[in-house]
Amino acid sequence: PLPTVGFNHPAMKTMAQQLARYGNPVTNPQAFIKKWIIPWTVPDDIHTAIPCLPFHFDINRDIQIPLEKTYRDLIAAGLHTEIKKWNGCFVIRNQIGSKAISEHSFALAEDQNAKENPLYGKVTWTDDFLNVWRKNLWICGADFHSRKDGMHIEWTAATAW
């Protein structure tokens, strides 16, 4: 069975847990980048199936294995074709409209199909697509109760640590 997903998903890490593990990427970006950020080369099989992904992008070293597994699961299920545009992963910033640190600051989140899934807007992903991410212990902003963010997918598996 799939894990229960929602804003307070039991696998979701608290900001305090993230800061304890990674340090603060906003106040000490150089130390954070040196320790946690890796330049990920998208494997050929994934890039061939999802050509809108860049050939390389920076990610948190903790998500390389689950990200590759999730992309391959989407490909195996034929759901990868829902990804039309990759809109980014690592950027140090606050959440839009908030003083809270964004998951993108930790390079633990990706945005995809932003135009079709805008912040506070309609979510166009199929349930099957979202369930592949959920099964792999990611959470989608489509599951946020107070602030729908359908483009946003973040790694939240407490078991990863």
Residues 50-78 pLDDT 10s: 999 999 999 999 899 999 999 999 999 99
Of all residues in the chain, what percent carry a pLDDT higher than 70?
Answer: 89
155, β-bridge pairs: 138
What is the token pair recorded at 72?
A: 């391959």
Distance CA 12, CA 103 (A): 11
Q: Are 106 and 22 in contact (CB under 8 A)?
A: yes
Q: Which of 30-39, 105-114, 142-151 has the lowest mean pLDDT?
A: 142-151
| Whole-number CA gyration radius for the chain | 15
Predicted model pTM: 0.88
Distance CA 111, CA 150 (A): 8
Helix, coil or strand: residue 7: coil
